[in-house]
Amino acid sequence: MKSPVTKGSKKNAAAKTLAPLQKHQLNRCEQAIRNYSDCFEAAGEALRMIRDEKLHRAYGSFEVYCEAKWDMSPAHAYRLIKASKIMEVLRKEMSPNGEGRLPANEGQLRPFPDEEADEWVKAWRKVLKEAGKKPITAALVDKILGKTTSGKKTSKPDKKGDVSASKLENVLKLVAKAMGTKTIAEVKTLLRQIEQKLKKAMNV
């Protein structure tokens, strides 16, 4: 016997439906993400648009979308978004003046401080100056910038954070085992869906 379709369920279904223009935007964004290996910058910009325009809503949260659609951790998705923001600033401030090389991959931008655009150009100029003619690698950028950029700490996970992540992974394995055939990825998705519903119920 089919469950009756309520007004509430229709409203929820409509809320998840994308308009034709939004579908077109999503298709263009997802094509850029598929070509991530060719251009990390475009992939980051695409992920940012999907998040900001809520083009992910068929999956619920942005985090669930990243894992379910791309098998990409939310942490990496946010790193790509951050990298695309940094590249936008560097291109605007440095490219017109012909100031040397620009970062070649997302890994070279991880040591940069979060949400501090005024420091990004200073940080990259420091890298260019100290690298000289050496090939610029992620490891070299990390070595030059160290734990601080212009005196400010970057967002590097500490050992405690790594231990916590490891413990969480073990917990997820136990939950997956208890749920039978559920994989860790499925458990993560389920937990996030529960979290979203709880927040919605509590109006958080």
Give me the residue spans of the domains in the chain.
1-72, 97-156, 157-204
pLDDT for 17: 81
CB 138 within 8 A of CB 103: no
pLDDT for 181: 54
pLDDT for 10: 40
Tokens representing 83? 């990298």
pLDDT for 202: 59
CB 79 within 8 A of CB 106: yes
pLDDT for 151: 44
pLDDT for 142: 93
Contacts of 12 (CB under 8 A, 6+ apart): none
- Per-block mean pLDDT, blocks of 10 residues, the chain (204 long): 44 64 95 91 96 94 96 95 95 78 93 84 93 92 72 42 49 61 66 68 57
Q: Which string of b and e fits 7-26 if b means at least 16 CB within 10 Å? A: eeeeeeeeeeebeeeeeebb
**Element spanning 32, H or E:** helix 20-34
